[in-house]
Amino acid sequence: MTDPQTEIPIRAPAATSADDTILPFEVATLDLRGRVVRLGDDVDEILARHDYPAPVAKLLGEAIVLACLLGSSLKFDGRFIMQTQGDGPVQMLVADYTAPTGKVRGYARYDSDGVAAAVAAGKFDSGTLLGEGHLAMTVDQGPETSRYQGLVALEGNSLEEVAHEYFLRSEQIPTRVRLAVGEEMRAGPDGMRHRWRAGGILLQHLPKASDSARVPDLDPGDAPEGMTPDDVEEDDAWVEGRALVETVQDVELLDPDVSAERLLYRLFHERGVRVFRNIEVDAQCSCARENVEALLKSFPQDDRDHMVENGVITVTCEFCSSAYVFQPEDVGAKVTS
């Protein structure tokens, strides 16, 4: 027997997680839509590549999960970019998700002494590490279209709270997000080592809405017709859904022995929950030598000349740490004495 809309056999929830995937779902009886993200090797590859301090790695992992939760609902070829900028020890977080390929990448810029001081003082919550600033959410459909960008202040003690504030103020869509990042011990070719895992769930209340959960400002209209945002926030169905998702524990989002399907069944089986096809996630940077070369050639002559060190120009990608080395003449630079 199959679900005619998805052509997926109706079966019991999977016993174990499918890592590096996004699972869309709906609870039609409560007008709820959402997605569950489970990241294993992909998030470990991104975080381990830069050897971040643990609090920084955890923050970046949360940003990557949030980018996957929001970017995966794009219905066109494009990128969803999430970036924080603040005056705390973690000066910047960047995570972007490319649709429909599922490519994701991220990096953090931080002051190592400031992070160490915060850890020593026992103040390494998100609010302290990020400080005051803003979170920008950007939708980029390519060079021939205008970017959309929404901003919200970095207020609260977590990225979850910042995301809630964004949807409340900018989109007026009842939304709840849960994010979790943690480490596990796993055997590898060099023996046992710590590996990162991450997970998250996004839930939105969309009565009389279109057939897909929204991402920032892609569709017209916010609150359902005839209802104010406050009315929707106190809708009985949303109150129930919100209460259920707030019971989700970090271990349920991280445990490989609890699949995304099993988690959704635990939460919503009494109301009935339907899942759709998994979206695969791939940790892959979009940098390329030809793109870096074109970027260098776009700089003013004086800037290119001053980039020459030890007879070459070296550009390192902040996302994947790939180093691109150019001879000065390759990009029209001059060696200055």
34 three-state secondary structure: strand
pLDDT attached to residue 3: 45
Q: State the greatest distance between any 2 C-alpha atoms of the chain, in Å, as a whole number.
A: 75
pLDDT attached to residue 12: 63
Spatial distance between the Cα atoms of 326 and 307, rounded to a whole number of angstroms: 10
212 three-state secondary structure: coil
Q: How would you class 122 by CB atoms within 10 Å of its CB: exposed for 0-12, middle for 13-18, buried for 19 or more?
A: exposed
Which phi and psi angles does 151 have, rounded to 5°?
-125, 145
Domains, the chain: 21-210+227-283 (3.55.30.10), 289-331 (3.90.1280.10)
pLDDT attached to residue 230: 52
pLDDT attached to residue 187: 67
pLDDT attached to residue 188: 64
pLDDT single digits (tens) 51-63: 899 999 999 999 9
Residues of the chain with pLDDT under 50: 1-10, 209-227, 229
Spatial distance between the Cα atoms of 264 and 141, rounded to a whole number of angstroms: 32
167-178 exposure pattern, b = at least 16 Cβ within 10 A, e = fewer: beeebbbbbbbb
pTM of the model: 0.83
Q: Output the CA torsion 145→301→321→292 (10° steps).
A: 40
